[in-house]
Structure 1
Amino acid sequence: MDKQQIIEELQRHKKQPYLDYRLKEETESFTNLLFYTLFDVNTPVAKNVDVLEEKFNKLVNMACWELESPCTKVWENYLAKLPEILEKLNLDAEAILSCDPASLSIQEIYMAYPGFYAIAIFRLAHELHVQGFPLVPRLMTEYAHRQTGVDINPGAQIGKSFFIDHATGVVIGETAVIHDNVKIYQGVTLGALYVAKNLEKTKRHPTIMSNVTIYANATILGGETVIGENSVIGGNAWITASVPPNSTVFHKPEIKIKTAPTNV
């Protein structure tokens, strides 16, 4: 096969007409500027709102492939929601500060906590997901996933004062519902019992009620699984059924320690 034949074969198999990776790059640029506009003291809000609108219009041109899709109306609705989103994120930061004895200042939360960053990008992406804006919300949360190790689908529903401690390895599925004042640790999975395409429109992921703590590497699966309020889920627990309120669930491993005899 000569060079020209190889090129023709590559062109023949290059099937996706709308697969423009500039959308990914532009989404990441939009996400960065949006985050800075909300939190950085040196980033002017008034000026950047106009810049963000320009960047958003680029995303509309690249992401809205269906002519009947009302993407051009999304920005005004989204902009109106930003104060409410910022208010929720400030509550998230305050929850981290009040819960984590290692946190030294609120500034540290905003700048150094990967869990907060992942929650921030989720909340910003979720609102676009609710409005039906295609692909961009998922690209936003995948950008945060790449930076933090936290994978939150933008379709999830998360209440106030959410805290992810240490962050790395957390997975929260599309139909998960998390109520207020929930705290989870690294490696926690809120997932589906099994994966099948015909479950696309069904609730596949668990519901976590208010004031629940889920410790490291716990796995909670299933759309009908509800973790009752004020419960504590211990590390490494595997849960596929509902847990009543005010419960403590723990995995009890068997640990054996063998000490070599001391030679005298």
Structure 2
Amino acid sequence: MTDLDRYASTIAFPRELGRVVDGLELARREWRAGHARHAERGIRFPSRQALGRILRELGTALFPLRLGPPELTAENENRWVEATLESTLSQLAAQIALELRIARPAIDSVEEGERADRIVGDFAASLPAIRRLLDEDIQAGYANDPAARSVDEVLLSYPSVAAVIHHRLAHRLHKLGAELVARVIAEVAHAETGIDIHPGARIGRGFFLDHGTGVVIGETAIVGDRVRLYQGVTLGGEPSVTGAARAAGEAFVRRHPEIGDDVVIFAGAVLLGPITIGARTRIGGNVWLRRDVPPDHVVEVPEAIIAPAHS
């Protein structure tokens, strides 16, 4: 019997609930004793629920006539976008301020607010460029999926497009220094779509995830233009690379794959470590790859053997 089983067997619910409360208090105290930096000092953390709402509102501001309320028209969308951004960006600044307070507990409220406002201002200025990138991503989805009947269908119904919208926004925040907020946004997308893209990953233009479920793209991955990935693809890291870099005192090292332009990677392929895949290469389904591939190559596993079953 484990300690957990032994402890649980001594509790008569609900008469002994006080013992549970006391036990939880003791667990918290033990944690805080070993993690004094985040001990009880009134510190609040960015809210996953709030950031989920913020991301939905930003999506409607980017695509108002498709993701916004039904009463919107081309005549009133500008006023609605302005009002939406004014409210949403203010809420985003408040979440970023919480992150800044965690990183620097001694920061005063004036400096905290100014830094959060600068990050949000730079982020807001990037939104038109992000919208244009997303237009190319959506067009790539329409061009590469024979089942798609329109770009509107791709935007409205493809979970992979929702994941890419989240990533484009999260990546910009990550670059601006709001790394915790960006990571929470990425995990919101992961929970909603089953697609896990670290906000640090650099992804080029015209990116398309065909189906996309189970795709994993790591923090230092670099993805070129017009790349297409199918479901279950992993662009994973090599832990030994990270350990060696830390031992050498390096602040940053690429530990995930770099994918060239116009590469296609089919379902279930796993690419690990800081390898480089040349432009226009095709990686077959279920390939396990840990070495570089030159441009214009095809990588496949041997064809399955089909034989009659033994009676």
Structure 1 segment 239-258 matched on structure 2, within 5 A: 239-258=289-308
Task: Give the AA of the match of 1:171.
Answer: V
In structure 1, the residue matched to 2:55 is 31
> Is 2:281 the partner of 1:234?
no
> Is 2:167 the partner of 1:122?
yes
1:98-141 deviation line (CA, Å, top 9, x unaligned): 11101011111111111111111000000000011131100111
1:131-187 deviation line (CA, Å, top 9, x unaligned): 111311001111001111110000000000000001101000000000101001000
Paired residues, number: 260
Call closer, same or farther: CA 1:232–1:72 in 2, change over 3 Å. Answer: same
Per the normalisation by structure 2, the TM-score is 0.78
- Residues in 2 aligned to 1:113 and 1:8: alpha-carbon distance in whole angstroms: 44
Aligned-CA RMSD value: 2.2
In structure 2, the residue matched to 1:214 is 265
> Is 2:213 the partner of 1:189?
no
2:253 to 188, 202, 210: 202
Whether the 8 Å contact between 1:23 and 1:63 is mirrored in structure 2 is no
- Residues in 1 aligned to 2:144 and 2:127: alpha-carbon distance in whole angstroms: 26
Task: Give the AA of the match of 2:296.
Answer: N
Whether the 8 Å contact between 2:208 and 2:229 is mirrored in structure 1 is yes
Structure 1 segment 42-81 matched on structure 2, within 5 A: 42=68, 44-65=80-101, 66=104, 67=107, 70-81=115-126
- Residues in 1 aligned to 2:302 and 2:269: alpha-carbon distance in whole angstroms: 13
Whether the 8 Å contact between 1:179 and 1:210 is mirrored in structure 2 is yes
The structural deviation recorded for 1:21 is: 6.0
Whether the 8 Å contact between 2:264 and 2:282 is mirrored in structure 1 is yes
Per the normalisation by structure 1, the TM-score is 0.91
Q: Secondary structure at the match of 1:164?
A: strand
Percent identity between matched residues is 34
The structural deviation recorded for 1:193 is: 2.6
1:52-109 deviation line (CA, Å, top 9, x unaligned): 1221132033222122663331111000000000100000000110111010111111
Call closer, same or farther: CA 1:251–1:20 in 2, change over 3 Å. Answer: farther
- Residues in 2 aligned to 1:80 and 1:46: alpha-carbon distance in whole angstroms: 13
Call closer, same or farther: CA 1:134–1:231 in 2, change over 3 Å. Answer: closer
In structure 1, the residue matched to 2:72 is none
Q: Secondary structure at the match of 2:229?
A: strand
- Residues in 1 aligned to 2:30 and 2:49: alpha-carbon distance in whole angstroms: 24
The structural deviation recorded for 1:8 is: 4.0
Q: Secondary structure at the match of 1:125?
A: helix
Whether the 8 Å contact between 2:260 and 2:279 is mirrored in structure 1 is yes
Q: Secondary structure at the match of 2:225?
A: coil
In structure 2, the residue matched to 1:168 is 213
Whether the 8 Å contact between 1:193 and 1:221 is mirrored in structure 2 is yes
In structure 1, the residue matched to 2:23 is 6
- State which structure, 1 or 2, has the greater radius of gyration over its C-alpha atoms: 2
Instruction: Pick which of 229-238 and 16-25 moved more.
Output: 16-25
The structural deviation recorded for 1:198 is: 5.7
Task: Give the AA of the match of 2:292.
Answer: S
- Residues in 2 aligned to 1:108 and 1:98: alpha-carbon distance in whole angstroms: 12
Instruction: Pick which of 157-166 and 52-61 moved more.
Output: 52-61
Whether the 8 Å contact between 2:45 and 2:99 is mirrored in structure 1 is no
Gaps of 5+ in 1: none
Q: Secondary structure at the match of 1:135?
A: helix
Gaps of 5+ in 2: 1-15, 33-37, 70-79, 247-251
The structural deviation recorded for 1:51 is: 0.8
Instruction: Pick which of 246-255 and 133-142 moved more.
Output: 246-255
